[in-house]
A = this chain, B = another copy of it.
C-alpha cells in the first residue's frame, strides 16, 4: 500500500482540563497515520478561540470543563463551525449529561475508560457522518428512555377522572386558544353550555383556570395533536 498518497487527514482538537488526559489521548492518536491532533485546549473559551483561527474535523470535548462547561462549548462551537463534529467525553455515565449534550448537537458520547480501539472507531465513525456512543452510555440512555415511558404511562391512568366526549371536544378547542364564544359557535351550542363544560372540566381535572386545563391536557395527552 502506498503511504505517500495524500490521505484525508482527520484534524482533531482535544479539550480537557486534565493535561495528563489530553496527553494520553494524543499519544493514542499519534499512532494512527490518518489522525492529526491539531490542538489542545484546557478550558472552554480557548476552544472557541482556537476554532476562530484554525479548523478541526473532530472536537473531543470533556463534558465537565471548568468555567464554561462542555454543553455550552458544544453549542457555541456548532453554531459557528458547521464542519466540526463533537464527541463528548466524560468520566460520568449520567443520563442528564448525555441527553443534554446530545440535545446540543454532539455526535457521540464516550466514557473516559474507553480503550484505544474504541476511541479510534468513534472518531472515524463520527467523521463519516454517523454517531457513536459507548456501550455503557447507550445502556444508560435506554434505561432512562424506558423509565420515562413507564412513568408517563402510570400518570395517565391514575389521577384522571373520565371526561366525556363533549368535554373532550371543548377541551381541545380551549387548547387551540379559542374563546368560549368561538367554541360555542363551532359546536353549535350555547355560550352557557360551553361554560358548563369548562366548569366541569375545571373541577374534574382539578384545575384553577384554562391555563391549568391546557397544562393537564398536554401532560396527559388528553387531546389529539392536530
Contacts and interface: CB of A to CB of B under 8 A. Distances in A.
Interface of A: 102-103, 105, 130-133, 135, 138-139, 141-143, 145-146, 149-150, 153, 174-177, 179, 207-215, 218-219
Copies in the complex: 2
Contact of A211 (B105, B139, B146, B210): B210
A128 to B, nearest CB: 13
B102 A142 contact: yes
A89 to B, nearest CB: 16
17 contacts: A102-B146, A103-B153, A105-B150, A131-B139, A135-B135, A135-B138, A138-B142, A141-B141, A141-B145, A175-B211, A177-B207, A209-B210, A211-B211, A211-B214, A214-B215, A215-B218, A218-B218
Given A131-B139, A139-B130, A209-B179, A145 B102 contact: yes
Contact of A149 (B102, B135, B149): B102
A216 to B, nearest CB: 9
B142 A177 contact: no
Nearest to A132: B139
Nearest to A125: B139
Contacts of A130: 139
Given A102-B145, A132-B139, A218-B218, 18 more contacts: A102-B142, A102-B146, A102-B149, A103-B149, A105-B150, A133-B138, A133-B142, A135-B135, A135-B138, A141-B145, A174-B211, A177-B207, A177-B211, A179-B209, A210-B210, A210-B211, A214-B215, A215-B218
Contacts of A153: 103
Contacts of A208: 177, 179
Contacts of A210: 209-211
Contacts of A213: 211
A131 B142 contact: yes
Contacts of A176: 215
